[in-house]
Every structure is written in C-alpha cells, then in structure tokens.
Structure 1
C-alpha cells in the first residue's frame, strides 16, 4: 500500500512544487514506484516533471469529477522516471463543480484507493491556498510536509495551516499527521 504525502502551505512561492518534483525524482531514482499528483491549477509540477500540461488528454480534473480513473489519466515523466497525474487551468473550475458532489472532500482519496498497490509513494503538490483542492489532498494523505520560509510572516500563516490540519485529522482523516516542517530558501 502506498504511503501518501501531501506537500502543503497556503503561502505561495515557498517551494512546494520544487520539493514535490525533487522528492518524486529522488524516490524514483532509488527504484520506488512514485505517483506525483498535481493539485495546483497552475500545473507547475506537471511541467516541472517534463510533461506538457497543454497536451494532456486527461488530468486530475477528470479524476476528481469521476470522468477518468488514475490509471487512465497518469502519464510517465520520462526524465523523472515516475508517474504524473497532471493538472492544467481546467482544474480551477473543479472548485465550483466539486461543491455539489457527494463526498467532495474525499474524491482524491477514493480515486487513489483504487491504485494504492501500484505505487510505493504518492506525493500530492497542493495549491497555495486552503481550498477544496487542498482539503482533498489532506483527506487523502497519511502525512503532510510543510515547506516554510524562515521568516516571521511565514510563521503567521503556519498557524492557519496547522489548525486546518488538526480539523481534518479530527473530522475527516484520523490517519493524517504532520511529517515535518521543511525549512527552505
């Protein structure tokens, strides 16, 4: 069964995507089966993995809305040696569409449950906000890695994220733990 980690921080530009892509490549290099899930509509983890987000036939958007399975939508990162469940601008619309769906916060968890045996690690790159997409990542994950700049204002935002993680742990995902803070930059 795969270990699922999300890399999250509501602050942008702190290295979430860089951490996710490099961790995926490093794990793949030591022969781990890795799936990188890009939950950010900017699609930078997709592009950073060497996958053209504009050329994708299916994305995480299709998976969240139940129009495709993970196996159908995942593509190989040739340079990284891992699978990518990519994202593009289409994902921005998922926020609105997910609101009316059943189990909207567990759509990713349910989709990943079908492929848990296919991977050793699933790494989820979350968007820079505490949104329904981030909530899906937190509900699917066993652990959270929080990249954080070493500055005062980064600490202020950390309180909101820790409170959200505590609420998700208490109400939606009792397996969720904070793996650690990753000091960056």
Structure 2
C-alpha cells in the first residue's frame, strides 16, 4: 500500500480539499483508497458526509487507545473510498502522546499491523502544524504531497516544512521524500499568483506538479453538502483540475498497486 501524507504547517492552503478530492479521483480510477483524517477539526470527515454520530471509533482511538485500524473504518458515499474519521478528542492527542514510548511511531505501527492488501493507497490529511500528529504521519508514510497557496509568504512556510522533512528523514524515516508540491487557489488574473508560481518552480523544479488548482466556488461549496467536489459538480474547473492532478500523481507513484 502506498502511503502519502498531505501536509503543510500553514492553515487554509487547501490540504483537506486536496485530500478529499484526490482520494475521490483515485477511487474513481478503480483504486482502493483509505483516507485517514488526522486533523482535530475533522473537516475531511465532514466533507465526505460523516456525522458526529457516525464516528464511533476515530483516528484518536487508533493512536491513543490501540483500537485496530479495521475497527476505525467508515464507508463513504464514494465507492472504493474508506475513511478513518477524526473527532474533537484528537485535539488532546498531542499532549497524551507525550506519555507514550515511541510516540512518533504510533500511526506507523497501526498501519503496519493492518491488512494493507485491503487498499492500494492511503492518504493522510494532516493538521496545520508540525506537532506530534503531523510527525506521526510523516513517520508512517513514504511520501508527502504539499499543497501550497499562491501567496506572498508561501515560500517561507515551505522552507520551514522542508527543513522539518530533512530532520525527520535523518532521525525517524529515511524513506521520506516530497513527492510533489501542488499550487492551490491559483488565480490567473492575479499577477502575484504568477510570480509565486514562477518562484516556486524556479526553486523546486520538477517537484512542483504541472497541474494547478484554481480558485473555484464549487470547491468551497461542496463540503457543506457532505460531498467531494468531483461528485458535487464534476464539470467545474476545480474538479477537472483534481482529476488531472490525480493522473499526474499516479504517474509519479511506484508500481505497487495491489488490486487489478
């Protein structure tokens, strides 16, 4: 099973929107997808139509209470897409994890002990911080996808994230790499957007995905209906962009798809 964390310590850059719609796009291609909501806000869970009552066992139980992964799974409205939801309990997990041995490896152990043949790919929606939850995600995966909003401070935040990746690679996970940076909230009418895009591509080259995610009202509306944008309005520019991004992501993946 391929494991990818969707991470950026800055909030409001499109992590959850990317997680939901990439998971949906991959499931639509026939991949069996697991999405782990590791953000205490639980927006990925809400955006896929899960109510609070649906979340019997959550990512908190997976990390803190040693509940097996299989018992934390919820089905979604998207065929081929399953989710480990998040609840508000996860907001206290950062403090509780400090008391555990190997606190940075809790998620990795949970995934390693599960039936990985059940899924082709696991996406993890990380919180907007570089705390223990995000650290657990980075230790558990091989690759990162980094959504980057096209704004003035984008490169500064990205530099901090890349430094963190290097530290984690050195201490905890030598396999960790940045699979790609995806430019989000892209507005071709804004000169600053073009300037940030040019700067990021000049710095990182091929690491940046060719596909950009535009500012799009339908992407913002879809979560309020408990649906991915690809189902809410598959013809909108945001949905089309995520389909293109999924295709580009598949081209960067190792040949480790389990199911035919």
- The interval holding the TM-score normalised by the smaller chain is over 0.9
CA distance in 2, matches of 1:156, 1:141: 24
- Structure 1 residues 39-59: Cα deviation after superposition (integer angstroms, max 9, x where no partner): 000000011111113431110
CA positional deviation for 1:152: 2.1
- Give 3-state SS (helix, strand or coil) of 1:152's partner: coil
Contact 1:53 1:87 (8 Å CA) reproduced: no
CA distance in 1, matches of 2:61, 2:147: 28
CA positional deviation for 1:67: 3.3
CA distance in 2, matches of 1:114, 1:135: 19
Contact 2:35 2:83 (8 Å CA) reproduced: yes
User: What corresponds to 2:131 in structure 1?
Assistant: 131
- Give 3-state SS (helix, strand or coil) of 2:153's partner: helix
CA distance in 1, matches of 2:53, 2:183: 32
State how many pairs are aligned.
184
- Give 3-state SS (helix, strand or coil) of 1:9's partner: coil
1:4 equivalent to 2:3? Answer yes
User: What corresponds to 1:70 in structure 2?
Assistant: 69
CA positional deviation for 1:81: 3.7
Decide which moves more: 35-44 or 76-85.
Answer: 76-85
- Structure 1 residues 59-78: Cα deviation after superposition (integer angstroms, max 9, x where no partner): 00001014311100111112
CA distance in 2, matches of 1:31, 1:147: 24
TM-score after normalising by structure 1 = 0.96
The answer for unaligned runs of 5 or more in structure 2 is 186-260
- Give 3-state SS (helix, strand or coil) of 1:37's partner: strand
**Which structure has the greater CA radius of gyration?**
2
1:106 equivalent to 2:112? Answer no
The structure in which a higher percent of residues are helix is 2
The structure in which a higher percent of residues are strand is 1
Alignment of 1:9-28 (within 5 A): 9-28=8-27
CA positional deviation for 1:117: 2.0
The answer for unaligned runs of 5 or more in structure 1 is none
